[in-house]
Amino acid sequence: MTPSTATTRPAPPCAITALDAGALSEAIHARRLSCREVMQAYLARIAALNPGYNAIVSLRPEAELLAEADACDAELARGQSRGWMHGMPQAIKDLANAAGLPTTLGSPLMKHFVASEDGLMTARMRAAGCIVIGKTNTPEFGLGSHSFNEVFGTTVNAYDPARAAGGSSGGAAVALALRLLPVADGSDFMGSLRNPAAWNNIFGFRPSQGRVPMWPAQDVWISQLGTEGPMGRSVRDVARLLDTQAGWSPHSPLSIAASADATRAVGSMDLKKCRIGWLGDLQGYLPMEPGIVPLCEAALARLAGAGAQVAPAHLGMPPERVWEAWLVWRRVLVATRIAPFLLKSGNRAQIKPEALWEHDQAQQTSGAEFLSASVTRTAFHEQMLKLFETHDFLALPTAQVWPFDARERWPGEITGRAMDTYHRWMEVVIYATFAGLPCISVPAGFGDTGLPMGLQLIGKPQDDAGVLALAAAHETLIGDWLGVLPGA
């Protein structure tokens, strides 16, 4: 596995690509910018930077994209707008379908599969006006928080191309950080919208379970750990994209019918009435590389300085018990995704070992074991509700390590503690996921080596709007580090 390396430092974005998604939408609708100008600016930046970072894959031909941009301009000239994303370029994470484009899942077995129709999230964004330009890179089957695969290679960190970008929404995060896209979509099974956001100094939001329904799907009843969701350069962009992606679907019977009302929530937080519980490293249970915890505590101190009540919080349940239950759920759900590819025995040699490990572990798992893990998950959810009796939000770091060498598959140890699975080093992200809670990773600043880190903010059940309101309040206090661009 050899990462790409950038030969030059990224140039500052031009005036068009520097605009966040909301400002870009405004400029397009006010006819200050044409959709053709926007597409040309983004394609030029992709051509200049993407070869060194490998964030966007399966890019469509320029002539096709400019023709679609021209059609969008013609519609605006007639007073017609498809929606707030009218004419904006969008690349879809390569785990989701976009009609006419490959959905490879990062697997050689899917290299030649071309989707005949959009997935639900893609269809909703397209209905809001975006032009789908290609896909964003992801690890094979979306497994592991390091975006490399045998089809497209490795996506590297926007701030240091020798380092990992995170994953599985790594291509999306790097594309945002490098200003190759105005806004991005992704998905999060363990921490895949949050970890790459933290490592690339952007915002990544995991919605409440059921907020953004996923279709097509093998199973719509049990497989509820994974969810699609938004990423952005600003909280307002994240909220606006969430409002586009969210909403009940008859294909997803457990999806949430009530509106997320996310955009309206931005700017509504009164920090003086906000109680934040700091989980930190769970009293030393989670190994953390030096500098991460103090950086996140400094970010929380800014919120406290603006009036928020920040106090230590305790999980109240043995974390190892949560982890063991999580492992059962994860391997069973991952195995159902891998199993169809193993119907042909020769395929096994073309599937990465981490995916095979998940599948093979599940073959030894009984129904009784799975139900027992579900009982533990229920108890954990109840314990999280108890924490929310005294706290409005919970906080903890987004990652336990800084972006690591992109040539590694995954960190084998943290501060001398061996990692016993390929994802143990990401344990910090499972708590929001396992409880089905909304959670955002917000930029927390940069470490001594110049690499970024994020802070997770977790909200009460279905309080997506509240989490985004708190994140927006944090954004106003960040200071200058949100404006630290790659290559600066």
pLDDT in tens, 255-287: 999 999 999 999 999 999 999 999 999 999 999
Residue 106 region by backbone torsions, left for phi larger than 0, else alpha for psi between -120 and 50, else beta = left
Tell me: the pLDDT tens digits for 411-423? 999 999 999 999 9
Averaged pLDDT for residues 33-48: 98
Please give the backbone phi and psi of residue 256, each rounded to the nearest 5 degrees, phi first. Answer: -85, 130
What whole-number distance in Å separates Cα of residue 266 and Cα of residue 462? 16
Instruction: Tell me the percentage of the chain whose pLDDT exceeds 70.
Output: 98
- List, for residues 332-376, the tens digit of each pLDDT value: 999 999 999 999 999 999 999 999 999 999 999 999 999 999 999
Which pLDDT score is estimated for 62? Answer: 98
Residue 102 C-alpha from the chain's centroid: 20
pTM across the whole model: 0.97
Both tokens of residue 59? 């890019």
Is residue 488 over pLDDT 80?
no
**pLDDT tens readout for residues 435-448:** 999 999 999 999 99
For residue 486, the tally of other CB atoms under 10 A from its CB is 23
pLDDT range class, residue 1, cuts 50, 70, 90: very low
Q: Over the stretch 112-131, which tens digit does the pLDDT of each residue have?
A: 999 999 999 999 999 999 99
- For the chain, the structural domain boundaries read 21-483
- The percentage of the chain sitting over the pLDDT mark of 90, rounded to a whole number, equals 95
Q: Reduced to 3 DSSP states, what percent helix, strand and coil does the chain have, rounded to the nearest 5?
A: 40, 15, 45
Kindly list the distances between the CA atom of residue 114 and the CA atoms of 131, 218, 348, in Å, as whole numbers in the listed order: 18, 18, 22
Report d(CA 380, CA 390) in Å as an integer.
Answer: 16
Mean pLDDT of 233-241: 98
Planar angle of CA 66, 67, 72, nearest 5 degrees? 90
CB 225 within 8 A of CB 330: yes
d(Cα 92, Cα 213) in Å, to the nearest integer? 16
Per DSSP, 402 falls in state P
Picking from 315, 326, 236, the residue whose alpha carbon sits closest to that of residue 281 is: 315
Q: What pLDDT, on the 0 to 100 scale, is given for residue 481?
A: 83
Per-residue pLDDT band for 8 (boundaries 50, 70, 90) equals: low
Q: How is domain 21-483 classified at the CATH fold level? A: Amidase signature (AS) enzymes (3.90.1300)
Is the pLDDT reported for residue 172 higher than 60?
yes
Q: DSSP E strands: which ranges in 362-405?
A: 393-397
The residue whose two tokens read 């106003």 is 476
- Taking a C-beta distance cutoff of 8 angstroms, is the pair 438, 234 a contact? no
Give the whole-angstrom CA distance, residue 322 versus residue 433. 11
